[in-house]
């Protein structure tokens, strides 16, 4: 019985690893009108726009006025551009209440996969423009809770042209001193507003800017993980721990 269980788990992990390593090098944006319809599209390895998407009252200006302690904590970040370390964004998301909301409204439909019990969510709150960061989850979901953002998506075809230390870099601020072949960097922009969501497959790089107004937008970054994607993410974070500290400074 133990042998059979181990064999089944091994087969599942091999299948997950095979599909996780796959990536596309073309730019194509898919679209659907509900998270229930996301699953058949995820395996195509292209970003997906979901509209309409669930709307939450969490992490909005109205929400902050009703939570003075939280507002006081994030006030300094609302006035400047900040690149959050993963641990800080995750801790902030927990205080806001995102993990429970995400599990109830977004993760549930994705668990309909035959290996759905292996999936879990990891949430991070974000404020304002953010520099390049990679996606690792089975899928990564970007939601705007207030305002709108212009998301730039890069696949692996642009990796050779990025700066060596690309983590945290904003495409709009890159110079040729940092990236001599700057014009070779290909990307696609997607506008994400409240009421819509962007689903990004693994192995992409993402950054964004405020789209409509100078006030920093508020949003949430959601990683939907299985064991292999989570391990890949943790390995990357350990390798780049020093870089995160440099960006924070």
Q: Is 116 helix (H, G, I), strand (E, B) or coil?
A: helix
Q: Which parts of the chain fold into alpha helices (H)?
A: 2-21, 39-42, 61-65, 68-78, 86-96, 98-102, 108-110, 227-239, 241-248
| Structural domain range at position 227 | 32-248
Query: What is the C-alpha separation between 49 and 192, in angstroms, rounded?
Result: 8
For residue 87, what pLDDT band results from cuts at 50, 70 and 90?
A: confident
Is 17 part of any domain? no
Residue 4, domain member (yes or no): no
Residue 2 lies in a domain: no
Total number of domains in the chain: 1
Phi, psi angles (nearest 5°) of residue 32: -150, 170
18 within some domain: no
Q: Give the pLDDT confidence of 102-133 residue by residue, as tens digits.
A: 999 999 888 877 778 889 999 999 998 889 99
94 assigned to some structural domain: yes
CATH number at residue 146: 2.60.120.650
For residue 187, being part of any structural domain is answered with yes
pLDDT of the residue at 81: 60
pLDDT tens digits, 153-178:
999 999 999 999 899 899 999 999 99
């Amino acid at each position: 019985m133990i042998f059979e269980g181990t064999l089944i788990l091994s087969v599942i992990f091999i299948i997950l690893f095979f599909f996780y390593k796959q990536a596309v090098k073309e730019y194509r944006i898919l679209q659907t009108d509900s998270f229930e319809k996301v699953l058949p599209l995820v395996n195509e390895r292209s970003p997906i726009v979901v509209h309409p998407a669930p709307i939450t009252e969490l992490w909005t200006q109205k929400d902050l006025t009703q939570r003075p302690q939280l507002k006081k904590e994030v006030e300094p970040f609302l006035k400047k551009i900040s690149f959050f370390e993963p641990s800080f964004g995750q801790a902030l998301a927990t205080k806001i209440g995102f993990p429970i909301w995400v599990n109830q409204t977004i993760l549930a439909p994705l668990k309909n996969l035959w290996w759905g019990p292996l999936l879990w969510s990891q949430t991070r709150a974000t404020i304002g423009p953010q520099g390049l960061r990679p996606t690792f989850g089975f899928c990564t979901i970007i939601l705007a809770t207030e305002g709108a953002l212009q998301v730039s998506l890069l696949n692996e075809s642009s990796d050779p042209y990025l700066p060596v230390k690309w983590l945290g870099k904003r495409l709009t601020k890159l110079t040729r001193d940092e990236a001599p072949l700057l014009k070779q960097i290909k990307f696609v922009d997607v506008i994400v507003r409240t009421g819509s969501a962007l689903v990004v497959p693994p192995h992409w790089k993402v950054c964004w800017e405020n789209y409509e107004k100078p006030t920093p937008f508020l949003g949430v970054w959601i990683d939907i993980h299985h064991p292999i994607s989570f391990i890949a993410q943790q390995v990357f974070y350990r390798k780049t721990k020093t870089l995160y500290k440099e960006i924070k400074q």
